[in-house]
Amino acid sequence: MDYFLGLIINGIVVGSIYSMVALGLVLIYKATEVVNFAQGELLMIGAYICLEIIQVTGMPFLVSFLMTMGFMVILALAIERLVLRRMMGAPALAVIMVTIGIGIVLRAVVLGVWGATSIPFPEVFPRQGIDLGVVTVSQLYLWSFILSLAFMAMFGAFFKFTRVGLVMRATASSRKAAESMGVPLTKIFAIAWIISAVVSGVGGVLTGNIAGLSPELSFYGVKVFPAVILGGLDSIVGATISGVIIGVLENLGGGYLKDLTGLHGLGPVAPFFILVAILWVRPTGLFGRKNIEKL
């Protein structure tokens, strides 16, 4: 039973990070109709930058964390301004490929600067367990969970209560209508990229804390794809919920399917089986709009 609960909790924590990064992906898609295939690499570079700031400046984690966010903002602006803005209106294939290209460059930077070996993240949150009555949860996990929830709540409030948030929602629901009402599209696109890069950065720092730093981190970002497809590529609510679902399923899969099927490493691959199954059965996902992507 403890094993089961442990898997569930692990899944919810990792899942909440997926949810947060998935939010970034869906946001960019809704605002700009671009699916960012460099999301995993953005996550990875966020983690490495944070580590570098901590090690070089010796500043406390919180300050380094904020500086990392600042870096992510600049990076997002650079990507949007230098590349994506010029690709507006290009065919989907070209846009997908260009984000893949950006991802490759980011990966090369990480490999060149920090190498391919795995680096442990300096302990920020103790791994010691806290007794929550029913189960004991590592403080690291608890903090990761709280932080991702806090970030999601922040963005939720931003969309709900600020003017920019309102304009972004308008753009997402109809780009043409928003443009004709005088919404400066390029600015909205830039903001979408900033938010997406920042949540990826946060996700990177948190997963880096949990799993250590290595170029493999980008694979965590990639697992956001099954989450957004399950939730519906254009649904923010869907992304939030499915991130957790994917996290839990992945952990349960890793924990039990090995004994059941005798196959190794099924956990990390399980979300992609789900992805294919969803695309077969219901490509709009659980919460997506019905009228998308036909023929």
Partner 1 sequence: MLADRFDRIGAVALIACLAVVSQFMGDYHLALLTQITVFALSAMGLNMLLGNTGMISIAHAAFMGVGAFSSAYLIQNLGLPALPAILLAGLITSVVGMVFGLPSLRLKGVYLAMASFAAQIILYWAFEQSRWLTGGQDGRFAQRPVMLGISFMDSHRFYLLALAFAVLGAVANLNIERSRLGRAFNAVRDRSQAAEMMGVNVFRTKIASFGLATFYAGVAGALFGQYLEFVAIQAFSLSVSIQFLALVIIGGLGSLAGSVLGAAFIVLVPEILDTIILMFSHNTGEMAPIRLGVFGLIVVVFLLFEPQGLARAWNRTRQWALNHTGKGSQTRS
Cα separation, 84 vs 77, in Å, equals 10
88 binds partner 1 (CB under 8 A): no
Residue 134 burial (CB count, 10 A): 8
Task: Output the smallest distance, CB 182 to partner 1, in A.
Answer: 29
> Which residue in 88, 100, 132, 164 binds partner 1 (CB under 8 A)?
100
Give the residue with the Cβ less far from partner 1, 141 or 250. Answer: 250
Residue 282 burial (CB count, 10 A): 13
Beta carbons of 230 and 286 less than 8 angstroms apart? yes
Give the count of residues interacting with partner 1 (CB under 8 A): 44
> Which residue in 2, 56, 58, 112 binds partner 1 (CB under 8 A)?
112
- Write each residue from 243 to 282 as x if it is in contact with partner 1 (CB under 8 A), else as -, in one continuous string: --------------------xxx---x--xx-xx--xx--
- Using CA atoms, how far residue 243 sits from 49, 90, 93, 148, 180, in Å, is 25, 30, 26, 12, 35
294 binds partner 1 (CB under 8 A): yes
Cα separation, 195 vs 25, in Å, equals 10
End-to-end alpha carbon distance in the chain: 47
Cα separation, 291 vs 295, in Å, equals 11
Task: Output the smallest distance, CB 280 to partner 1, in A.
Answer: 5
Amino acid at 147: L
Give the residue with the Cβ less far from partner 1, 209 or 251. Answer: 251
Beta carbons of 21 and 224 less than 8 angstroms apart? yes
> Which residue in 78, 88, 108, 153 binds partner 1 (CB under 8 A)?
108
Give the residue with the Cβ less far from partner 1, 163 or 264. Answer: 264
Binding footprint of partner 1 on the chain (CB under 8 A) = 29, 35, 37, 83, 86-87, 90, 92-94, 96-98, 100-109, 111-112, 222, 225-226, 229, 233, 263-265, 269, 272-273, 275-276, 279-280, 283, 293-295
